Structure 1
Amino acid sequence: MAPADRSFARRTLLTTTAALSGAALLGSTAQAAETRQAAWPTQFPLPDGFQPEGITIGARPFAYFGSLADGSVYRASLATGRGSVVVKGAGRPTVGLKIDRHGRLFLAGGDSGEIRVADARSGATEVYAVGGTFVNDVILTPGAAWFTDSFKPVLYRLAKGGVTTVPLTGDWQQGPEFTANGIERTPDGRALLVVNVFANGGGLMRVDPRTGAARAVDLGTAKLPNGDGLLLLGRTLYAVQQAQNAVDVFRLNDSGTRGTAITRITDPRFRIPTTAAAWGRRLYLPNARFDVDPTPATDYDAVAVKQV
């Protein structure tokens, strides 16, 4: 073998060995993480009387829950289930919420008609009065946070320039009562997906964020009459059907114009779950218990189930 050939063969061997070693390391790291998570609790309590609705999980294994009772935010360790209030409520609800990589919590203010942004470390909060009737859920996109309003055919866009209102048009049908709920991005990131519990017996709308034009997503025969929180992982969409105590799972195309129902997740521990967030191979959901009249002594919890 010529010297150049020997050199090339050696480089190829070293590159292949490094790639295999890297893959093995990644595999062993992922396996170790999964093994650690297997020992974490799959159910843990939230404060009595808290009335949880939304959940978000950021870059670390901590879940944040919003309170319908007073708007406070509770942070729980996924490893232990223990937690504490990190944002004190002001007597106005927090419904959906999301956390960004800077530790900012974007809070939907329900019937307060507000959007709030809170620091997860200090609890300091900015308030934006948008004149909403029921600001329900939120999703983060590059450069903006988008909020739904359950009683108005609009979305609210919060960006550096402030809040703008985007009217929903096209296929959007506003019901006489509660209509819009959860919100997500399409797999290709070019549009938004919004639950509409009224149109055609309940389903999804794909919304152009530039214009607000909505088009019904083809879900076949599947319906979302009790659709609440949405969670997109790759092209897999998890849609929480709160009153049905279930999570319906769909495989979407890249543009989010079509979805195929692949399974339904149920669990005897579900007590009207509303929203979902992911960590590792688990989904975490708060039980809102909308089937009982809440009191300061009503118990609440969160549960974890396996992803599909």
Structure 2
Amino acid sequence: MRSAILTTALCALLATLPGTPASAATPPGAMAQAATRPDAMTLPDTIALPNGFRPEGIAIGSRPVAYLGSLANGDIYRADLRTGQGAVVSKGPGTPSVGLKLDSRNRLFVSGGTAGNARVIDVRTGAVLKSYPLATGASFVNDVVLTRDAAWFTDSTNPVLYKVPLGRHGALPDQAVSVPLTGAIQYTTGNNANGIAPTPDRESLLIVQSNVGKLFKTDPATGVTTEVNLGGESLVNGDGLLLDGRTLYVVQNRLNTVTVIRLTADGSSGQVVNRLTDPRFDVPSTVASFGNRLYLPNARFTTTPAPDTTYTVNAITAPRNH
């Protein structure tokens, strides 16, 4: 008992001495938590990918890890945002991996491009949990978004959305369903529906049509589309979309630009408030965020791909207060 009293008194005395470290007063784990906050990290601005990889989609969850898909063979590559190091975590089927989204259950939803399909991968093991044939004939299953009860995939060739409904606790169904797109969107020659995101109120879906540079609001129950009023602004070459609150980031790939739009809550209209570019951009395709940073893979669509072609992911600071 006496020993405990002396120890307590000594600790109190040390705490009052000038220059005495205050770490004893820091709650357990607080320093570690501060060191791992996104804004407290020193993260590389550019991450090298394997030569010949041909990235398109990118997905980032709550941890500083990015997943990228290969157009060359469908491999899934995991990159550590802290070190820039990475490795292939799931071998591809020999067909493209295009748009990607990661859920809270460590499942990666992958658009299959010209294969006309989608698959769901466990990123911890690399195993394919489910594969869904979505289209017959010519198709390009391009991008995917996750909502509370479904995964939605765009098709740049056919005016349709593909829905993978999620059951209780995120259970994966045996089959996907098709929802035809009608209304304002009109498919034409070239790359049609591309990136997809929810509206800020989460009631509808947003789709960018690359070839005509328009943004559409879509009723997920009916597939009926209306054009989002952007005051005449063009989103030509629009690719990946990322919604943050009421701010929508639109990657315009061949323009090497990320257009920043402030949307109304229902997504029926919006105003372009910024356009972001960077000398490192070389046809960026899609975008994901971690902390206050946007991460964009260089798809390099204007460069003929070869086994030794280099590819990177570039990070830029996201603008605040839009």
Normalising TM by the smaller chain, what interval? 0.7 to 0.9
CA distance in 1, matches of 2:300, 2:251: 14
CA distance in 2, matches of 1:211, 1:30: 46
* Stretches of structure 1 lacking an aligned partner (at least 5 in a row): 1-25
CA distance in 2, matches of 1:288, 1:83: 18
Matches within 5 A, 1:283-298: 283-298=294-309
Counterpart selection for 2:177 from 164, 186, 202:
164
Larger CA Rg, structure 1 vs 2: 2
CA distance in 2, matches of 1:144, 1:88: 25
Alignment match, 1:19: none
| Alignment pair present for 1:255 and 2:270 | no
TM, length-normalised to structure 1: 0.88
* Stretches of structure 2 lacking an aligned partner (at least 5 in a row): 1-29, 166-171
Matches within 5 A, 1:269-280: 269-280=280-291
Can you list the C-alpha shifts for 1:87-145, whole angstroms capped at 9, x where unaligned? 11121100001010000010000000111111101111121111251000000001110
1:177 Cα offset (Å): 2.7
Identity among equivalent positions (%) equals 51
Give SS of 1:267's match: coil
Pair 108,35 (structure 1): closer, same or farther in 2 beyond 3 Å: closer
Can you list the C-alpha shifts for 1:231-288, whole angstroms capped at 9, x where unaligned? 0000000000000001000000000000100010000000100000000000000000
Can you list the C-alpha shifts for 1:40-76, whole angstroms capped at 9, x where unaligned? 1010100100000000001211000000000010000
CA RMSD of aligned residues (A): 1.5
Alignment match, 1:177: 190
Alignment match, 1:62: 65
| Alignment pair present for 1:90 and 2:103 | no
Matches within 5 A, 1:1-308: 33-37=37-41, 39-125=42-128, 126-131=130-135, 133-159=139-165, 160-161=172-173, 162-198=175-211, 201-308=212-319
CA distance in 2, matches of 1:151, 1:110: 10
Give SS of 2:176's match: strand
CA distance in 1, matches of 2:228, 2:177: 25
TM, length-normalised to structure 2: 0.84
Figure out how many residues of one structure are paired with residues of the other and give that number.
Answer: 278
CA distance in 1, matches of 2:103, 2:60: 9
Is the 2:258–2:275 contact (alpha carbons within 8 Å) kept by the matching residues of 1? yes
CA distance in 2, matches of 1:87, 1:31: 30
Please, which moves more after superposition, 158-167 or 279-288?
A: 158-167
Q: Which amino acid aligns with 1:58?
A: G
1:176 Cα offset (Å): 2.4
Q: Which amino acid aligns with 2:228?
A: V
CA distance in 2, matches of 1:190, 1:224: 23
Structure 1 segments (4+ residues) deviating >4 Å: 29-32
